[in-house]
């Protein structure tokens, strides 16, 4: 299975069925911080929900239509990062990520996202990667900017979370921009 050692104890591993309990526990412990910007924690109520997500993720992996990896700091699961889809016709994907609260602010997402960007362009041959960040989620937007993504626009009332509508700003990076950076 996919594994990537990023140094300094950081590594990425493909999401596997055996990770269900550990992943659920990380989500459950960080439900409030993750759920402030993402909807999936409120739908992840038990380990079986996580198992179902892993099965869907592995199916997408086999169909070359996106995948999720776990982010480890030593032996501690600290988050997840993935390509939500891969559109081979347009050469486009969207990158998404989350971290447990105690791992924030250490450059972990920037490091792992850089690896995913490299994979999307160099190995998958894609032309564009997008990152969507809810307006107000400054940490997520900062990751996109650090990696050289350009702000492309904001979609108003893009999603509804906790009874309120959130705008989402999209950032894009083209393969040609990545190659010159």
The CATH number covering residue 83 comes to: 3.40.630.30
Q: What is the pLDDT of residue 172?
A: 99
Domain count, the chain: 1
Nearest Cα neighbor of 64 from 43, 48, 85 is 85
Which portions of the chain are predicted below pLDDT 70?
1-6, 180-181
Domain boundaries, position 119: 3-180
pTM listed for this prediction: 0.91
- Residues contacting residue 159 through CB under 8 Å, at least 6 positions apart: 39, 134, 165, 166, 168
Q: What is the pLDDT of residue 3?
A: 56
Q: What is the pLDDT of residue 1?
A: 38
Q: What is the pLDDT of residue 7?
A: 73
DSSP 62-122: HTTS-EEEEEEETTEEEEEEEEEEEETTTTEEEEEEEE-GGGTTSSHHHHHHHHHHHIIII
Q: Exposed, middle or buried: residue 111 (CB in 10 Å: 0-12, 13-18, 19+)?
A: middle
145-169 tens-digit pLDDT: 999 999 999 999 999 999 999 999 9
Could you identify the residue written with the tokens 């300094």? 8
Q: What is the pLDDT of residue 5?
A: 61
């Amino acid at each position: 299975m996919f594994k990537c050692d990023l140094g300094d104890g950081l590594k990425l591993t493909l999401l596997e069925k055996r990770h269900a309990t550990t992943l659920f526990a990380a989500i459950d412990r960080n439900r409030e911080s993750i759920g402030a910007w993402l909807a999936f924690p409120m739908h992840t109520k038990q380990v079986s929900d996580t198992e179902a997500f892993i099965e869907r993720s592995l199916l997408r992996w086999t169909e070359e239509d996106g995948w999720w990896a776990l982010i480890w700091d030593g032996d501690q699961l600290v988050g997840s990062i993935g390509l939500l889809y891969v559109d081979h016709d347009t050469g486009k994907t969207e990158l998404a990520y989350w971290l447990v609260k105690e791992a924030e602010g250490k450059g972990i997402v920037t490091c792992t996202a850089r690896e995913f960007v490299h994979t999307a362009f160099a190995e998958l041959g894609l032309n564009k990667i997008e990152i969507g960040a809810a307006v107000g989620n400054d940490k997520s937007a900062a990751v996109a900017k650090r990696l050289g993504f350009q702000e492309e626009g904001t979609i108003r009332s893009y999603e509804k979370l906790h009874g309120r509508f959130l705008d989402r700003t999209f950032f894009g990076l083209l393969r040609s921009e990545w190659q010159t950076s």
